[in-house]
């Protein structure tokens, strides 16, 4: 697993290089693209290679995708930025074509996932690398979308989710002119820090944090059934739900229409019956999808298809591991105890669902990319440097106060009464670190752009976070040496004070 599974934001294409395989299937060294023209032709070549079974097959799958993502991972941030006025004009002219090609690479990767699985030739290594390929391609498309928007090639307007038109939605050609159907599964990336936490909670990381199901009542009216931390399982009329603002939404469809329709009806009936009794179904903070007494977002999909098939169709087919935090108390404090879970983005690699389309809301893309960089840094410090959250009096008070006021109906839109104190505390502490890092990145991004003329890559943002961590740690050391302890006036107000190392640090308190 790479240190960071996301594509640097300055990389404009998943495959803007020559394929890592020759016609005989042997690995070749890359030749770095020298121009925007080669970026475009290189993307097309890899798409062609994916469709060539002599080059891309179950045996070469993992190595092929890994070679491409490894190549891109180590490139300098400005490698694909147009360098001359002629290249700028070329990319402006053919930018939409480039996105089409990269998106089609994702479509073909999903087709190959289904094909290999149908022949029982899909290896775990291939699944892992395809997950990674989806992530790299998606961020490449989004960065290019942003570049084209800034160049005034694209104009973004507010549209309902899954309106079948560019630049908000790119569609699998097999599903041209699609309409949302009962039983459809929508994979969502929200805009909160909690969304970033969920998007990386599993060993196999993803770009999404939530799942929702298109349900149906007896009259055939469509709703969205989902489980939210604030409310548990809720039901929303489809057209009302489509007005929401989410960074991205990917649509997956079960090709068995009878099964999908049955899943939609059963889950709607279960959710509506619980709501009509004024009880509802609570959110499952343990993320235990074997127990339907409480339900988290992914569990809505699992329960729907489980009940519709009498236990014969269990989702997902390939689960995420939950072991990377095994040496910490992090998942335990959140309430998660299982060693595997149904992460929302597992639906991406469930070959029994077709990939239909993907929607994006441009104004949120930059925000979630920064959240991802912050989250990736925090998690890497926990796993690689032994960082842990330590009970700080300030956050202890906040956690218990939040729990207390919720019992009286206050903060009803943010916290359920039954949310465990451990979960509240961990979320409070996480947000304190995340907001501090995010504020720093926003400031540094402006400096970076002014100096270099392009936005920082994902690795650049990780480097910014790492420098901030080191300096924050040194400040905390200085406070300890002076026998001082940061107070509320220091936190956020004193530039000489640590902003988070007094409650998030490793046992050795080493800044390295």
pLDDT at position 489, please?
54
Q: Is the pLDDT of residue 34 over 50?
A: no
Average pLDDT of span 347-358 = 98
Q: Is the pLDDT of residue 23 over 90?
A: no
**Higher per-residue pLDDT: 129 or 26:** 129
Kindly report the CA angle at 429 between 465 and 343, in degrees rounded to 5?
Answer: 80
What residues contact residue 116 under an 8 Å CB cut-off, 6+ apart? 58, 61, 122, 126
pLDDT at position 33, please?
41
Kindly report, residue by residue over 285-316, the tens digit of the pLDDT: 899 999 999 999 999 999 999 999 999 999 99
pLDDT at position 406, please?
43
| Averaged pLDDT score across all residues of the chain | 84
- What burial letters (b/e) apply to 258-284, b meaning 16+ CB within 10 Å? ebbbbbbbbbbbbbbebbeeeebbbbb
Structure confidence at residue 467 as a pLDDT band (50, 70, 90)? very high
**Higher per-residue pLDDT: 452 or 488:** 452
- What are the chain's domains? 36-155 (no CATH), 169-360 (3.90.1720.10), 390-505 (no CATH)
pLDDT at position 492, please?
58
DSSP strand E in 229-382: where? 232-237, 248-253, 320-321, 340-341, 354-360
| Range scoring the smallest mean pLDDT among 1-5, 34-38, 199-203, 447-451 | 1-5
pLDDT at position 89, please?
92
In this structure, what are the phi and psi dihedrals at residue 67, rounded to the nearest 5 degrees? -60, -40
Average pLDDT of span 33-57 = 83
Q: Is the pLDDT of residue 359 over 80?
A: yes
pLDDT at position 399, please?
45
| Range scoring the smallest mean pLDDT among 54-58, 77-81, 315-319 | 77-81
How many Cα atoms occupy the beta-carbon half-sphere of 177 within 13 Å? Answer: 0
Q: Is the pLDDT of residue 415 over 70?
A: no
pLDDT at position 386, please?
92
**Higher per-residue pLDDT: 298 or 15:** 298
Kindly report, residue by residue over 395-410, the tens digit of the pLDDT: 554 544 454 444 434 3
Q: Is the pLDDT of residue 511 over 70?
A: yes
Structure confidence at residue 12 as a pLDDT band (50, 70, 90)? very low
Kindly report, residue by residue over 247-300, the tens digit of the pLDDT: 999 999 999 999 999 999 999 999 999 999 988 999 998 999 999 999 999 999
Pairing of β 169-171 and β 185-189: unpaired
**Torsion sign over Cα 53, 205, 365, 374:** negative
Reference 461, options 485, 440, 478, 489; nearest CA is 440
Q: Is the pLDDT of residue 8 over 70?
A: no
pTM score: 0.88
Q: Is the pLDDT of residue 340 over 80?
A: yes
First to last CA, the chain: 22
What residues contact residue 54 under an 8 Å CB cut-off, 6+ apart? 23, 24, 25
pLDDT at position 417, please?
65
**How many whole angstroms separate alpha carbon 196 and alpha carbon 175?**
30
Percent over 70 (pLDDT), the chain: 83
DSSP class of residue 357 equals: E
């Amino acid at each position: 697993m790479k240190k960071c599974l996301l594509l640097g934001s300055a990389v404009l294409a998943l495959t803007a290089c020559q394929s890592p395989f020759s016609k005989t299937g042997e690995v070749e060294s890359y030749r770095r693209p020298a121009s925007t023209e080669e970026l475009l032709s290189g993307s097309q070549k890899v798409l062609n290679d994916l469709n060539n079974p002599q080059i891309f097959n179950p045996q070469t799958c993992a190595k092929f995708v890994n070679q491409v993502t490894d190549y891109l991972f180590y490139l300098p941030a400005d490698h694909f930025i147009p360098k001359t006025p002629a290249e700028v004009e070329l990319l402006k002219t053919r930018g939409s074509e480039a996105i089409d090609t990269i998106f089609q690479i994702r479509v073909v990767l999903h087709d190959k996932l289904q094909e290999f699985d149908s022949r029982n030739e899909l290896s775990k290594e291939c699944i892992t690398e395809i997950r990674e390929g989806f992530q790299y391609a998606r961020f490449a498309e989004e960065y290019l979308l942003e570049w084209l928007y800034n160049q005034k090639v694209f104009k973004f307007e507010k549209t309902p989710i899954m309106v079948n038109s560019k630049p908000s939605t790119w569609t699998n050609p097999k599903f041209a002119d699609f309409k949302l159907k009962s039983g459809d599964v929508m994979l969502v990336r929200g805009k909160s820090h909690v969304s970033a936490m969920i998007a990386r909670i599993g060993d196999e990381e993803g770009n999404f944090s939530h799942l929702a199901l298109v349900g149906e009542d007896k009259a055939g009216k469509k709703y969205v059934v989902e489980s939210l931390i604030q409310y548990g399982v809720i039901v929303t009329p489809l057209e009302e739900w489509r007005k929401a603002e989410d960074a991205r939404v990917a649509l997956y469809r079960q090709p068995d229409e009878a099964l999908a329709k049955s899943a939609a009806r059963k889950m709607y009936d279960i959710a509506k019956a619980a709501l009509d009794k004024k009880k509802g179904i609570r959110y499952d903070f343990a993320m235990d999808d074997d127990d339907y007494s409480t339900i988290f977002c992914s569990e809505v999909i699992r329960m729907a298809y489980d009940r519709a098939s009498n236990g014969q169709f269990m989702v997902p087919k390939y689960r995420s591991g939950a072991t990377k935090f095994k040496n910490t108390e992090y998942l335990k404090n959140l309430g998660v105890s299982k060693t595997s879970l149904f992460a929302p983005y597992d639906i991406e690699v469930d070959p029994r669902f077709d990939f239909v389309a993907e929607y994006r809301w441009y104004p949120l893309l930059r925000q979630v990319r920064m959240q991802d960089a912050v989250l990736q840094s925090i998690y890497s410090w926990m796993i690689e440097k032994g960082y842990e959250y330590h009970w700080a009096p300030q956050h202890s008070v906040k956690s218990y106060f939040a729990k207390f006021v919720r019992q009286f109906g206050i903060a009803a839109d943010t916290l359920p009464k039954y949310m465990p104190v451990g979960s509240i505390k961990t979320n409070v502490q996480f947000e304190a670190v995340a907001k501090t890092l995010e504020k720093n990145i926003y400031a540094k991004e402006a400096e970076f752009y002014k100096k270099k003329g392009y936005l920082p890559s994902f690795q650049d943002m990780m480097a910014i976070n790492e420098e901030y961590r080191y300096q924050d740690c040194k400040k905390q050391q200085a406070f300890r040496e002076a026998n001082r302890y940061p107070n509320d006036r220091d936190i956020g107000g004193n530039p000489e004070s640590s902003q988070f190392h007094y409650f998030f640090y490793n046992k050795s308190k080493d800044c390295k």
